[in-house]
Amino acid sequence: MQFKWLGTAGLELQIGSKVSLIDPYLSRHSLASIVFSQLEPDIDAFSRNISKCDHIFVSHSHFDHISDVAEISKRTGAGIYASQSGIQILLSNDIQADKLNELKDNTLIQFEDFHLRAINGKHIALPWIHHNQKKPTLRRNSFRHACDFRMDMNFSFFIETGDFDILVWNSIATEYLPDADVVFIKPQFDTIYHVIDLLKPGLVIPIHWDEFWKKEISRTKTIPISFENNRIKIKRVDWNHLISKTKEISPATRVLIPQVNHVYRFFDFL
């Protein structure tokens, strides 16, 4: 059992013989493109980084989580699991309905090698981040600009493998937090410390912290914004502070700062 961080919130998990992707976003559009242009997928990036995929799970339908999903599915044949809003976006991009599976709060999906449960949670609310509880209008190719992508639900994923449990936590709240051995989580929110304190996991892996609008991944830094006690601060993540504070809260918890596209085996850290 192993994983790769694909950059942004993207993960590739290999559990048994199956490969699953969560929120794969490899196109990494520039800030200018995100604000002013149509978002065209980077097909070369898919070819370089994804050789096989059986399932794709979408936490929510903002562009940096779902805009590459349709093309990746077309190239790999992967089935897709997303909210109602996500399914409408994918249908508009010519994904056949039989490839799509709707996620609701507490949806449980049972595969041969693992079980996955979707847990709806709270997304940060900011003026430039779009939310929409209404069903979007379905028109072919109607989701091309970043502002077209609006979310309805925001899922975390709890994965039981039989050997250990994995939590991909996307909520800024900690309600309905299941016990897990491995936690993938965004480090810009002080939520990370509440989760570590409550779960005392064996391994914490920060993701979705890179400057996702920069194409050259190796040169990105952490996003220069953090949120503490519901206040926005212009500050990058201090990895030394995060590691030392984690050790203070839960001495047995290891922190792995992943490199993009590097393959890690879970059992090397647990």
Specify the CATH number for the domain of residue 7. Answer: 3.60.15.10
Is the pLDDT score of 136 beyond 60?
Answer: no
- Give the C-alpha distances (Å, rounded to integers) separating 97 from 1, 58, 67, 155, 217: 30, 16, 17, 21, 34
Gap between the Cα atoms of 221 and 242, Å rounded: 15
Longest dimension (CA), the chain: 52
User: Domain range spanning residue 234?
Assistant: 2-268
| pLDDT tens profile 204-241 | 999 999 999 999 988 899 999 998 877 888 999 999 99
- What pLDDT, on a 0 to 100 scale, did the predictor assign at position 129? 61
Residue type for position 206: P
User: Which pTM value belongs to this model?
Assistant: 0.94
Where does the pLDDT of residue 173 fall: very low under 50, low under 70, confident under 90, or very high at 90 and above? very high
Number of structural domains found in the chain: 1
223 and 234 Cβ atoms separated by less than 8 Å: no
Is the pLDDT score of 265 beyond 90?
Answer: yes
User: Quick one: which of 97, 41, 47 has its CA closest to 69?
Assistant: 41
Four-residue CA torsion sign, 81, 1, 181, 231: negative
- Give the C-alpha distances (Å, rounded to integers) separating 67 from 1, 70, 151, 188: 27, 7, 12, 23
100 and 75 Cβ atoms separated by less than 8 Å: no
165 and 157 Cβ atoms separated by less than 8 Å: no
- What pLDDT, on a 0 to 100 scale, did the predictor assign at position 138? 52
Is the pLDDT score of 59 beyond 80?
Answer: yes
| pLDDT tens profile 74-106 | 999 999 999 999 999 999 999 999 999 999 999
